[in-house]
């Protein structure tokens, strides 16, 4: 593969005419790039729905007392906000959209191993989303259990838990099948010469993620089915009145839902690795260490679920062991951060928007990580558990980590995926505003948590007023910034091949083909002769 | 879903589909694994009630069903060998026998469940609610786990039905039989899960 793409161009996957036209050319396409965009659009739709709900919650909390909604509405709102953001945006996350688009291209293949299964996964995703939506708008009101569906309240509440839980079960299936598809693709479809240790690190992170999706999701799937059975058939798995154990529910739930945090964050770290390496114009530092740290996070991530339950009722030994294992996860995470820094050291850094997004990611993720230590240690956790501190930490990691990386990846691969280049100045300003808004919104929550403000209440004592007001103002800044960022992307202009085929000087395979790619990606399957980030002449 | 010349030529990789099937089987085992954990915890908490409740189950009918499933696993394996040697007729016979055995299993299950329900033992029944917590959990788990297993049997029958049709029209044949092989793998999984369910509910004292 050489850089002759400017002279000879094929029709891109966006323009390609197949048997179907109009919308059917998209929803019946088995092309991984089109499916990736289906995911991208649906995920962004749900993300903005979640943002709107978040802004309404912050508005309610602008001052003590009831502002715009009562307690029941507020409970429903934080539940639905959580469900939407977690199950419909960030668990499919970077894997379903950017992973789908990039895995085949980055390993030099024409598509994933099972293209039809890939499309089927998207249908399951949409089906699950529809079931959840129906659950929200029918029956006796949207669920008010929080996204965790803790028993026994989830068995007792009159709201429409059955449908939403079942929707989450269907989404789990979609996630499992995507993971399965990716694992087989990575094992079977690599181009000649692309050994496992020649794969880009984004692929390594997705490989670790896929195993978590595959091996953790079934456990929560069956747990959700048990909740449905408890409600419909009164079996009593988790109902103490019938001998069931609600703590057992928490164990089963977190056996999946803690690894799920790594489903969200691992691909994010992978994308950040790609971005930092590209813009530092250096070979990545510690390739094998980063690759292995992805697998280490995936593995250790299984064994730490108990840290969600330090105050739920567990033996002292269990709490100490879970606390210790939780601290172990910090090692592979830190390996990544140190290697990113070492990659930048003495690099020739170009300060383009994706790089700034990566920097914002590292800064925010670090705050999230360090405050995680407070929660990982039993003695401090019992003081701040169920306070706003947890909410702040969680949003620093999941929104500030995985969410920012999602937008970093979007800015990085945007020219490749759409053949357009956005206004870089506006992108930078949008990011700056978002960074300010983000910290205004979430940092006061750390202080509120330390002061003792509990989470999940629509009202609070007067002494919590000032930080809450700042936080609400932050939510407006953040909302504005997101609009600027997205509008800027939508207004991106078609570029010439020189501007869009490889705008950043990337070295992985996706930058060696035209933008947007042809439907078969490569005119001939490339032969890989060197490490992924080697500086070669083009 | 094929889109004439613009869509990729169908890429056939039997090893990939086999890996995919094995990964799927892992997820199924973990799905039931969650239930096995729940079973173990509650058995540990209510040993006496679980012991007494299990005596209500009919070991004979459970044993017959175990034998039926083991034989059906054998016939599905034989159908693969038959197809590999190119004997299409024999393949079809073995698949049909497998499906038939699966249906017999379901009929047995129907009568077994029917007898329980006739005695007012089913989740949420007034009689069961009046029993001890251990009894409620035992029968709750019994109906849920064997019920979920029965759903897997039905899915397996549907899958084998599709394979039967494809062998008949020749799209699954001596050279291209990974669908039958994967159907067989799934069937072995269904069998395997029953091999664990049977002692857990019927045999352990």
**Pick from B128, B156, B126: nearest CA to B142:** B128
Q: Which residues are CB-neighbours of B163 under 8 A, at least 6 positions away?
A: B95, B172, B179, B180, B183
Contact A499, A421 (CB under 8 A): yes
Quick one: CATH architecture of A31-512?
A: Up-down Bundle (1.20)
**Chain B contact for A519, CB < 8 A?**
yes
Domain definitions of chain B by residue range: 14-203
Are the Cβ atoms of A218 and B28 closer than 8 angstroms? yes
Q: Is the pLDDT of residue A2 over 60?
A: no
Q: How sure is the predictor about A68, in pLDDT bands with cuts at 50, 70 and 90?
A: very high
User: What single-letter DSSP state applies at residue A402?
Assistant: I
Contact A193, A531 (CB under 8 A): no
| pLDDT at residue B75 in the model | 97
Q: Is the pLDDT of residue B155 over 50?
A: yes
| pLDDT at residue A17 in the model | 76
DSSP H/E element including A420: strand A420-421
Full DSSP string of A187-254: HH-PPTT--GGGS-HHHHHHHHHHHHHHHHHHHHHHHHHHHHHHHHH---SS-GGGT--HHHHHHHHH
Q: Which residues are CB-neighbours of A30 under 8 A, at least 6 positions away?
A: A111, A115, A116, A118, A119, B1, B3, B7
Q: Is the pLDDT of residue B142 over 60?
A: yes
Are the Cβ atoms of A219 and B30 closer than 8 angstroms? yes
Which tokens is B189 given?
């999984």
**Pick from A203, A185, A216: nearest CA to A305:** A216
| pLDDT at residue A511 in the model | 94
Q: Is the dihedral of CA B175, B181, B183, B184 positive or negative?
A: positive
Closest chain B residue to the Cα of A248, Cα to Cα: B38
Are the Cβ atoms of A242 and B133 closer than 8 angstroms? yes
Q: How sure is the predictor about A11, in pLDDT bands with cuts at 50, 70 and 90?
A: confident
Q: Is the pLDDT of residue B1 over 50?
A: no
Question: Which of B11, B16, B35 lies at the smallest CB-CB distance from A222?
Answer: B35
pLDDT digits (tens, 9 = 90+) for A305-347: 999 999 998 999 999 999 999 999 989 999 999 999 999 999 9
Are the Cβ atoms of A218 and B143 closer than 8 angstroms? no
Are the Cβ atoms of B6 and A16 closer than 8 angstroms? yes
Q: Is the pLDDT of residue A537 over 60?
A: no
Q: What is the ipTM of this complex?
A: 0.91
A229 contact residues in B (CB cutoff 8 A): 123, 140, 144
| pLDDT at residue A7 in the model | 58
Q: Which residue, among A222, A232, A254, A520, would best test binding to B if mutated, counting the most B CBs under 10 Å from its CB?
A: A222
Are the Cβ atoms of A221 and B23 closer than 8 angstroms? no
Query: Region A164-181: what's the mean pLDDT?
Result: 96
Question: Which of B34, B124, B133 lies at the smallest CB-CB distance from A222?
Answer: B34
Q: For chain A, how big is the Rg over CA atoms in Å?
A: 23
> Distance (Å, rounded) from C-alpha A339 to C-alpha A345?
10
pLDDT digits (tens, 9 = 90+) for A491-520: 999 988 888 999 999 999 999 999 999 999
**Chain B from 143 to 172: CB within 8 A of any A CB:** 143-144, 148
| pLDDT at residue B114 in the model | 94
CA B132 vs. chain centroid, Å, equals: 30
Ranges of H-type helices in A281-403: 287-300, 316-344, 353-376, 378-384, 388-397
**Chain B contact for A234, CB < 8 A?**
yes
Q: Is the pLDDT of residue A5 over 70?
A: no
pLDDT digits (tens, 9 = 90+) for B77-133: 999 999 999 999 999 999 999 999 999 999 999 999 999 999 989 888 888 888 889
Q: How many CB pairs under 8 A join A and B?
A: 133
Output the CA–CA distances (angstroms, integers) from residue B155 to A83, A171, A214, B76, B186, in the order listed: 30, 20, 20, 15, 10
A111 three-class SS: coil
B2 three-class SS: coil
Q: For chain B, how big is the Rg over CA atoms in Å?
A: 20
Domain definitions of chain A by residue range: 31-512
Contact A479, A51 (CB under 8 A): yes
Closest chain B residue to the Cα of A249, Cα to Cα: B38
> Distance (Å, rounded) from C-alpha B178 to C-alpha B184?
9
Are the Cβ atoms of B27 and A116 closer than 8 angstroms? no
Which tokens is A78 given?
């934080």
Which tokens is A518 given?
């042809």
Q: How sure is the predictor about B47, in pLDDT bands with cuts at 50, 70 and 90?
A: very high
> Distance (Å, rounded) from C-alpha B66 to C-alpha A344?
63
Q: How sure is the predictor about A1, in pLDDT bands with cuts at 50, 70 and 90?
A: very low
Query: Region A80-92: what's the mean pLDDT?
Result: 95
Q: Work out the minimum CA distance from B60 to partner chain A, whole angstroms.
A: 26
**Pick from B127, B143, B142, B132: nearest CA to B202:** B142
Q: How sure is the predictor about A299, in pLDDT bands with cuts at 50, 70 and 90?
A: very high
Lowest mean pLDDT among A116-125, A199-208, A515-524: A515-524
| pLDDT at residue A477 in the model | 98
Span B14-203: which CATH code?
A: 1.20.120.80
Contact A268, A320 (CB under 8 A): no
User: What single-letter DSSP state applies at residue B8?
Assistant: P
| pLDDT at residue B71 in the model | 97
| pLDDT at residue B204 in the model | 85
């Amino acid at each position: 593969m050489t850089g002759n793409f400017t002279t000879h161009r094929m029709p891109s996957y966006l323009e390609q005419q197949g048997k179907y036209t109009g919308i059917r050319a998209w929803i019946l396409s088995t092309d991984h790039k089109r499916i990736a965009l289906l995911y991208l659009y649906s995920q962004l739709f749900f993300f903005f729905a979640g943002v709107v709900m978040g802004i309404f919650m912050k508005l309610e909390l602008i001052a003590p007392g009831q502002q715009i909604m009562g307690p029941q509405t507020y409970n429903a709102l934080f539940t639905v906000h959580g469900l939407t953001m977690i199950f419909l945006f960030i668990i499919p996350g970077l894997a379903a959209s950017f992973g789908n688009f990039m895995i085949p291209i980055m390993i030099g293949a024409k598509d994933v191993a099972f293209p039809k299964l890939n499309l089927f996964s998207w249908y399951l995703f949409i089906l699950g989303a529809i079931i959840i939506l129906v659950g929200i708008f029918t029956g006796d009101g949207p669920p008010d259990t929080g996204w965790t569906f803790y028993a026994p309240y989830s068995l007792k509440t009159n709201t429409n838990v059955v449908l939403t839980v079942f929707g989450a079960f269907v989404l789990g299936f979609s996630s499992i099948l995507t993971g399965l598809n990716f694992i087989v693709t990575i094992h079977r479809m690599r181009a000649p010469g692309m050994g496992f240790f020649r794969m880009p690190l984004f692929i390594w992170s997705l490989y670790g993620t896929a195993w978590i999706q595959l091996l953790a999701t079934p456990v929560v799937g069956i747990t959700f089915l048990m909740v449905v059975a408890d409600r419909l058939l009164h079996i009593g798995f988790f109902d103490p009145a019938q001998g069931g154990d609600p703590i057992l529910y928490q164990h089963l739930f977190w056996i999946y839902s803690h690894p799920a945090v790594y489903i969200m964050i691992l691909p994010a770290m992978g994308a950040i690795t790609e971005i930092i390496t590209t813009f530092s114009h250096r070979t990545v530092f510690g390739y094998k260490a980063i690759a292995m740290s992805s697998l280490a996070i995936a593995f250790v991530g299984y064994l730490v679920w108990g840290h969600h339950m330090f105050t739920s009722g567990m033996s002292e030994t269990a709490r100490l062991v879970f606390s210790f294992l939780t601290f172990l996860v910090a090692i592979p995470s830190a390996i990544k951060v140190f290697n990113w820094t070492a990659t930048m050291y003495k690099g020739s850094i170009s300060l383009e928007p994706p790089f700034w997004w990566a920097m914002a990611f590292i800064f925010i993720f670090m705050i999230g990580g360090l405050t995680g230590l407070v929660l990982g240690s039993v003695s401090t956790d019992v003081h701040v558990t169920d306070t706003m501190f947890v909410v702040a930490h969680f949003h620093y990691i999941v929104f500030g980590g995985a969410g920012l990386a999602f937008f970093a990846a979007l800015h990085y691969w945007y020219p490749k995926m759409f053949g357009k280049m956005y206004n870089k100045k506006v992108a930078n300003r949008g990011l700056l505003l978002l960074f300010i808004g983000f910290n205004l919104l979430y940092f006061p929550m750390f202080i509120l948590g330390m002061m003792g403000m509990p989470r999940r209440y629509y009202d609070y004592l007067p002494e919590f007023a000032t930080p809450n007001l700042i936080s609400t103002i932050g939510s407006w800044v953040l909302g504005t910034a997101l609009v600027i960022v997205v509008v800027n992307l939508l207004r991106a202009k078609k570029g010439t091949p020189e501007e869009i085929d490889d705008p950043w000087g990337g070295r992985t395979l996706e930058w060696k083909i035209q933008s947007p790619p042809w439907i078969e990606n490569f005119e001939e399957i490339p032969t890989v002769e060197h490490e992924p980030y080697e500086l070669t002449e083009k | 879903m094929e889109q004439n010349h613009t869509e990729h030529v169908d890429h056939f990789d039997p090893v990939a589909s086999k890996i995919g099937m094995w990964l799927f089987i892992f997820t199924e085992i973990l799905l039931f694994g969650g239930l096995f954990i729940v079973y173990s915890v509650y058995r540990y908490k209510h040993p006496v009630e679980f012991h007494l409740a299990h005596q209500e189950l009919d070991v004979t009918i459970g044993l017959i069903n175990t034998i039926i499933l083991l034989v059906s696993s054998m016939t599905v394996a034989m159908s693969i060998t038959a197809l590999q040697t190119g004997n299409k007729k024999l393949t079809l016979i073995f698949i049909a026998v497998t499906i038939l055995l699966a249906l017999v299993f379901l009929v047995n299950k129907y009568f077994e469940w029917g007898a329980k329900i006739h005695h007012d033992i089913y989740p949420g029944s007034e009689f069961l609610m009046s029993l001890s917590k251990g009894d409620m959990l035992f029968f709750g788990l019994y109906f849920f786990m064997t019920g979920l297993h029965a759903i897997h049997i039905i899915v397996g029958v549907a899958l084998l039905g599709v394979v039967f049709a494809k062998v008949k029209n020749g799209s699954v044949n001596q050279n291209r039989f990974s669908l039958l092989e994967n159907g067989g793998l799934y069937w072995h999984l269904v069998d395997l899960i029953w091999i664990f369910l049977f002692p857990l509910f019927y045999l352990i004292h």
